[in-house]
A and B are shown apart, each in its own frame.
Chain A
Amino acid sequence: MREILLILVPFVGVGAAALWRSDRTRPWLLPAVSLIHVVLSFWLLVSPPTVDPGAWLGFDPLARAVLPAVSLLFFVCAVYAVPYLALRPERPNRVFVCALLAVLGLLSAGHQARQLAVLWIATEAVTLAAVPLLHFNGTPRAFEATWKYLLVGGTGIALSLLGSFCLGYASLRGGGVGDLTFVALTAQGAGLSRPWVLIAWVLLLVGYGTKMGLAPMHTWKPDAYGEAPGIVGAILAGAVTSVAFTAILRVRAVVGAAGQGHVADQTLLVIGLFSMVTAAVFLLSTRDFKRMLAYSSVEHMGILSIGAALGGAGIWAALFHVWNNSLTKGALFLSAANIRRAAGSASMDEVRGMAVLTPRSAAIFVAGMFAVTATPPFGPFFSELRVVRVGLASGHGVAIALFLVCLLFAFFGLTRVVFGVVDGRPRQTTRRAHQRFVESAGVIVPPLLLLGFSLWLGLFTPAVLQEAWSAAAAQLAPTP
Chain B
Amino acid sequence: MSISVNLLIGFAMGLNLIALGSNRLPSLIRAMSVQGVLLGIIPLLMENEIDWRVALVALATAIGKGVVIPGLLRRAMRAASIEREVDPFIGFVPSLLLGAAGTVAAVALAQGLPLLPEHTGSLLVPGALASVLTGFILLVGRSKAISQVCGYLILENGIYLFGLLLIKATPLLVEAGVLLDVTVGVFVIGIIVDHIQRAFDSLDTRKLTALRE
Contact = CB atoms under 8 A, between A and B. Distances in A.
Interface in B132-185: 132, 139, 145, 148, 152, 155-156, 158-159, 162-163, 165-166, 168-171, 173-174, 177-178, 181, 184-185
Given A168-B166, A169-B166, A148 B139 contact: no
B131 to A, nearest CB: 11
A144 B185 contact: no
Contacts of B114: 173, 193, 195-196
Interface in B30-83: none
B93 interface: no
Given A161-B159, A162-B132, A173-B114, A178 B211 contact: no
B129 to A, nearest CB: 10
Given A165-B163, A195-B113, A143 B169 contact: no
A419 interface: no
A141 interface: yes
Interface residues of B, number: 41
Contact of B178 (A150, A161, A169, A199): A161
Contacts of A145: 211
A164 B162 CA distance: 11
Contact of B213 (A176, A196, A286): A286
B192 interface: yes
B169 A172 contact: yes
B185 A196 contact: no
Contacts of B192: 131, 135, 143, 146-147, 150
Q: Select the residue from A162, A173, A177 with max chain B CB neighbours within 10 A.
A: A162
Contacts of A121: 177, 181
Nearest to A170: B114
Given A147-B192, A195-B113, A140 B210 contact: yes
Nearest to B152: A154
B156 A158 contact: yes
Interface string B83-115: 000000000000000000000000000001111
B211 A226 contact: yes
A120 interface: yes
Contacts of A120: 177
A411 B174 CA distance: 44
B47 to A, nearest CB: 16
B155 A147 contact: no
A128 B185 contact: yes
Contacts of A180: 170, 174
B195 to A, nearest CB: 5
Contacts of B132: 162
Given A144-B210, A168-B170, A173-B114, A151 B148 contact: yes
A282 to B, nearest CB: 7
B46 to A, nearest CB: 15
Contacts of B184: 128
Q: How large is the interface on A (under 10, 10 to 19, 20 to 34, 35 or more residues)?
A: 35 or more
B169 A227 contact: no
Nearest to A164: B174
Contacts, number: 110
B7 interface: no
A168 B166 CA distance: 7
A172 B152 contact: no
Interface in A135-190: 135, 140-141, 143-148, 150-151, 154-155, 158, 161-162, 164-166, 168-169, 172-173, 176-178, 180
A265 interface: no
Contacts of A285: 213
A158 B115 CA distance: 22
Given A121-B181, A158-B156, A173-B115, A165 B165 contact: yes
B139 A135 contact: no
B201 to A, nearest CB: 11
Nearest to B129: A162
Interface string B5-22: 000000000000000000
B196 to A, nearest CB: 5
A117 B173 contact: yes
B188 interface: yes
A209 interface: no
A141 B195 CA distance: 11
Contact of B170 (A117, A143, A196, A222): A117
B208 A128 contact: no
Contact of A155 (B155, B168, B174, B199): B155
A158 B188 contact: no
Contacts of A140: 199-200, 210
Given A117-B171, A148-B211, A158-B152, 4 more contacts: A150-B189, A162-B158, A165-B159, A222-B213
6 closest A-B pairs by beta carbon, nearest first, are: A178-B169, A140-B199, A144-B208, A178-B170, A223-B211, A121-B177
Interface of A: 117, 120-121, 124-125, 128, 131, 135, 140-141, 143-148, 150-151, 154-155, 158, 161-162, 164-166, 168-169, 172-173, 176-178, 180, 193, 195-196, 199, 222-223, 226-227, 282, 285-286
10 contacts: A128-B185, A143-B199, A147-B145, A147-B208, A150-B189, A154-B185, A158-B152, A178-B169, A180-B170, A196-B113
